[in-house]
Structure 1
């Protein structure tokens, strides 16, 4: 079953179980998937659906930070709950050791000599690690590896 089909099935299950909050969050996700399909005139595959989920998760994290800074804990809690529903669609994350091993392999494979080659290394890592690791942390690891750290 594709990820998109899984999301649709989860929406139906949430409707039957009368889980209104989960249903609303899943409907947001489906709307975003459909918007992207209409805009680009394509049928999204699992990797593209994952990218949509990842973007929505990032938006929720940013919102949580902003709401907490503004003293709106009620809104931050709402975003955290949405984040939990969306996180269920992400594949299992990699451990720091696994990410470090991937970074080391990518540096070796690209023949990177220094910080100026960061783009090459990230180009290799992004498709492999998308959705399975925090790309900001991966970028920091690559920078450290290329600067001789």
Structure 2
């Protein structure tokens, strides 16, 4: 069993014993999503820590989007719960990149792509290929894409 999944299960046990309904419910849903991912496909397999982290990130993103939808639908109680669940899941994710750190990684990837012969806006794909593995799980794809576009335009 991966260490992140084991940590989630241990934290779930602790939350159940402490009768922490929010934490136990959120961790249960997340562990269910992980198990579902493990058994999907032709054969069951155990996920690596990186794959478990991606599932946790996906669940956290769902909570953020649901909170926004509930706020737009004038349901503040539900929005508050979804936000709390998203913040709880964020504890299990790596610290997100700051704008400065992201800009630094993007400029290095742009320089590397230009050294490889990529020029102008058409270099977008080459730069994204270089930068995506470096920011995996620490920055949203939209944010990375916007940073790359601005770096290539400038």
TM-score of the superposition, structure 2-length normalised?
0.90
Aligned to 2:40: 39
Q: Is 1:113 matched with 2:119? A: yes
Q: Aligned-pair distance for 1:110?
A: 2.2
* One of 130, 137, 143 as aligned partner of 1:131: 137
DSSP 3-state at the match of 1:91: coil
User: Residue 135 of structure 1: CA displacement?
Assistant: 2.5
CA distance in 1, matches of 2:6, 2:139: 24
SS of residue paired to 1:44: coil
Name 2:81's counterpart in structure 1: 78
Q: Secondary structure at the match of 1:132?
A: coil
Q: Which runs of 5+ in 2 are unaligned?
A: none
Work out whether 1:95 is the aligned partner of 2:98. Answer: yes
SS in 2 for 1:93: coil
RMSD across aligned C-alpha pairs, in angstroms? 1.4
Partner of 2:26: 25
Q: Which runs of 4+ in 1 moved over 6 A?
A: none
- 1:71-113 Cα shifts (integer Å, max 9, x gaps): 1111101101111111111111222111111001111222331
Higher mean C-alpha deviation, range 75-84 or range 22-31: 75-84
Name 2:62's counterpart in structure 1.
Answer: 59
Give how far 1:42 is off: 2.2
- Match for residue 140 of structure 1 among 125, 143, 146: 146
In 1, Cα distance between equivalents of 2:14 and 2:128:
39
Residues paired across the two proteins, number: 148
Q: CA deviation at 1:117?
A: 1.9
What is the TM-score when the length of structure 1 is the normalising length?
0.92
In structure 2, the partner of 1:68 is: 71
